[in-house]
Structure 1
Amino acid sequence: MTIAVDAGPVRVGLERTWWQRHGATTVVWATRVVLLAVLLVLWEIAADRWIDSTFISRPSDIVGRLAEWSADGTLWTNTWITVQEIVYGFLLGAAAGALAGFVLASMNLVYRVLDPFMMALYSIPKVALAPLFIVWFGIGMHMKVLLAAVTVFFLVFLNTAAGVREVDRGLIDAVRLMGGTRRDIARKVVLPASMTGVLTGLKVSIPYALIGAVIGELVASNRGLGYLINDAAAQFDTAGVFATLVVLSVIAGVLNVFVGLIGRRVNRWKPADD
């Protein structure tokens, strides 16, 4: 008589309570909320009591300014303009940086030749490029998008190139021994192994996409969140400046969540963290 035996590991389902599955995340988020609430309360108390509110404003004034700008459409109009500049610049810079990093780092000699030039360009303060970009592209949205893209490009490029060059050579040699072509090595070994570098570059470059777009608006613009910061500062409206910074922080947070979702999908093959 033949007994059929299932091959492969035996999976045992674990009965876990809701708290065992989500308790750690709940504690983290609860702590964050409490910490934020404490900081806001201390800020509200300190304004005009310990520190002149002209310099630090107060949370209630910031909420009031956000409500005022929301009611008259100022916030939505300028936020939408800046969001477009950030997203377009981020996507353009990230795509170009990831592609260039993957291709150039795969060609050892070419990468070694170009590496010092790329580092020299990366070292240039991006704010110094703004006047040059104004001359080349004018003061419209294209200038802000390209300034954000250039800022993002180098961060994604460097992290992607580092990820490609740190791929385990043993895996590459193993694929070659099995008759794999250069295309097989690039698609099945180098690309998956380098995704950690790509995702790191994407996460690190999010605030720099904001910086590039806002710098362009601060230098030359009559709309956008950078313009709101400039206009509020010129009128000593500290609440307006902080309100704009809050909106920029929210945009950065949303982009971080988006990149995190991409990271979870790309890294599904990795063991899940506890």
Structure 2
Amino acid sequence: MSTGPVRERSGRGFRARHGRTATVWAWRAILLVAFLVAWQVLSGRVLDPQYVSSPDGIVTRLGDWLADGTLATNTWITVQEIVLGFLLGAGAAALIAYVIAPLRIVWDVLDPLVMALYSIPKVALAPLFIVWFGIGTSMKVLLAAVTVFFLVFLNTAAGIHDVDPALVDAVRLMGGRRRDIALKVILPASLTGLLTGLRVAIPYALIGAVIGELVASNRGLGYLISDSSATFDTDGVFATLVVLSLVAAALNALVTLLGRRANRWKPLTT
């Protein structure tokens, strides 16, 4: 039987998807350039650069910080806090969710307590964490971890609860044990919830680390924001925000890549 038409349709679909991706990225670039040009033109003419800075001022500040090592040193510190906090919070959340969520009685008991803790503004925990852990790196890591924990935990638990009970029953009828159900049904079926939690949690890991640096620190990107705002250095504030955006984009791209690899087990939709 000939597979020529199928391959042709597949090739067309591949080219269409890549063509659409290229179009999307082209429009993103156009909008970004238009925004930067408008910002540069309006700054100093219509807008006061003391309050809104300007693209050339931001580039100049980044160049100065790169030259003297300020940017590299403080960025590396914040990236470490974000990554460690993210790994600690996400790892603990996923592990606890896979232990607790399948036990519906335990989940029903703990659910309101978890939601009550989740509702506490994490910025309100910063002063308490300073008392407990000081102003060192561990405080920022733990604050980021707590911020990440609930997002990953709740999304993973939701994914576990959405597992089709018929699949679990089928594995049991075939003689599957608890371990088989956990590894061959619950884990793969709940990956979507876990990966959603990981993606949503990335900016919150950054927020937790930066909040800790803003509250009490003498290094890191949060410290650069605090120090720049204290000296009315708007260029420095915006330059730091640009770096934070790039860090968040890089981490999000990494989790997206991992998510694509993890989702290869899913059947193709027709």
Bin for the TM-score computed over the shorter chain: over 0.9
TM-score with structure 1 length normalisation?
0.93
Q: CA–CA distance in 1 between the matches of 2:269 and 2:25? A: 17
Q: CA–CA distance in 1 between the matches of 2:184 and 2:5? A: 27
Cα deviation for residue 187 of structure 1 reads: 0.7
Q: CA–CA distance in 2 between the matches of 1:273 and 1:39? A: 39
Q: Is residue 206 of structure 1 aligned with residue 183 of structure 2? A: no
**Identical residues among aligned pairs (%):** 67
Q: CA–CA distance in 1 between the matches of 2:235 and 2:269? A: 41
Mean alpha-carbon deviation: is it higher for 225-234 or for 95-104?
Answer: 95-104
Residue deviations 1:103-161 (CA, integer Å, cap 9, x gap): 11011111110111111111111111111111111110000000000000000000000
1:164 is matched with 160
Poorly superposed stretches of 4+, deviation over 4 Å:
9-12, 271-274
Q: CA–CA distance in 2 between the matches of 1:247 and 1:273? A: 39
Q: CA–CA distance in 2 between the matches of 1:11 and 1:91? A: 47
Listed as ranges, the matches of 1:128-139 within 5 Å are 128-139=124-135
Q: CA–CA distance in 2 between the matches of 1:91 and 1:123? A: 22
1:177 is matched with 173
2:11 is matched with 16
2:139 is matched with 143
Letter in 1 for 2:140: K
Residues 271/246 of structure 1: CA separation in 2 closer, same or farther (3 Å cut): farther
Listed as ranges, the matches of 1:5-154 within 5 Å are 12-14=6-8, 16=11, 19-20=15-16, 22-154=18-150
Q: CA–CA distance in 2 between the matches of 1:184 and 1:273? A: 26
Residues 110/11 of structure 1: CA separation in 2 closer, same or farther (3 Å cut): farther
Q: How many residues align?
A: 267
Letter in 2 for 1:116: P
Q: CA–CA distance in 1 between the matches of 2:48 and 2:135? A: 37
Please provide the CA RMSD for this pair: 2.0
Residues 42/10 of structure 1: CA separation in 2 closer, same or farther (3 Å cut): closer
Residues 78/150 of structure 1: CA separation in 2 closer, same or farther (3 Å cut): same
Q: CA–CA distance in 2 between the matches of 1:273 and 1:217? A: 46
Letter in 2 for 1:179: G
Letter in 2 for 1:189: V
Residue deviations 1:41-87 (CA, integer Å, cap 9, x gap): 11111112222111100011001100110000000000000000000
Q: In structure 2, which of residues 196, 217, 231 is the aligned counterpart of residue 235 of structure 1? A: 231
Structure with the larger helix share: 2
Residues 264/11 of structure 1: CA separation in 2 closer, same or farther (3 Å cut): farther
TM-score with structure 2 length normalisation?
0.94
Q: In structure 1, which of residues 226, 245, 248 is the aligned counterpart of residue 244 of structure 2? A: 248
Letter in 1 for 2:181: I
Q: CA–CA distance in 2 between the matches of 1:180 and 1:195? A: 20
Letter in 2 for 1:109: I
Residues 38/10 of structure 1: CA separation in 2 closer, same or farther (3 Å cut): closer
Q: CA–CA distance in 1 between the matches of 2:257 and 2:220? A: 28
2:261 is matched with 265
Cα deviation for residue 21 of structure 1 reads: 5.3
Q: CA–CA distance in 2 between the matches of 1:227 and 1:152? A: 21
